[in-house]
A and B are shown apart, each in its own frame.
Chain A
Amino acid sequence: AQTVTQSQPEMSVQEAETVTLSCTYDTSESDYYLFWYKQPPSRQMILVIRQEAYKQQNATENRFSVNFQKAAKSFSLKISDSQLGDAAMYFCAYTPGYSGGGADGLTFGKGTHLIIQP
């Protein structure tokens, strides 16, 4: 069974600084997708960024980027120029790529609570 581990229950960063959230995963599959989701106090799950395992290039979305190390099974999220609105729970998630992905649902880590200090 696949597992996703987020070893940082809570992180704190000053506004405008950069913070990196860690995620490791375990799988025997070679084809899979990885995601970071943001969950603000409203409870809504918001996709931040996705990475396909077959792509060597790290995904980037504006101030959010990932460091995908396939051999090490590591998938960290870097948030640059942190803003107050970035404060939320962040979840790392995995799904295998067979059947196009998603057929078995997502496996989530336990989450990292990100605090932004003004």
Chain B
Amino acid sequence: NAGVTQTPKFQVLKTGQSMTLQCAQDMNHNSMYWYRQDPGMGLRLIYYSASEGTTDKGEVPNGYNVSRLNKREFSLRLESAAPSQTSVYFCASTVTGTVYTEAFFGQGTRLTVV
């Protein structure tokens, strides 16, 4: 009963470094999402993927790239990290289409860029 698994849980990067946040779900969901959470801002959508091989920009996509490797996995890449990308990142998944089910969230990744 893993649900949505994110790795790593914590990360510190230096400005300009790159990294990939990994996300995997075992619920056979078709849609997956990446959000960021900043103090006082709620969660904001970075990218989403309605199915394998498709991705779309959300509200705050600049500075990020994503890859929907297969139905289970959806990764978020920071090519050149900036202090403005210090945030908590959440991956989520759900079933969309005929019926919408609730979104299930991973436990988040706290990223600090120094």
Q: Which residues of A contact B (CB under 8 A)?
A: 4, 9, 33, 35, 42-45, 47, 50, 91, 93, 95, 97, 99-111
Contact = CB atoms under 8 A, between A and B. Distances in A.
Interface of A, helix, strand, loop or mixed by DSSP: loop
B19 interface: no
Interface stretch (B20-28, B64-72, B78-86, B100-108): B100-108
Nearest to B43: A108
A106 B107 contact: no
Interface residues of B, number: 29
Given A43-B107, A45-B105, A50-B102, A102 B90 contact: no
B74 interface: no
B97 A105 contact: no
Of the listed residues B42, B108, B110, the one surrounded by the most CB atoms of chain A closer than 10 A to its CB is: B42
A105 B45 contact: yes
Given A44-B105, A45-B90, A47-B102, A106 B45 contact: yes
A44 B42 contact: no
Given A43-B108, A45-B105, A102 B96 contact: yes
Contacts of B40: 9, 110-111
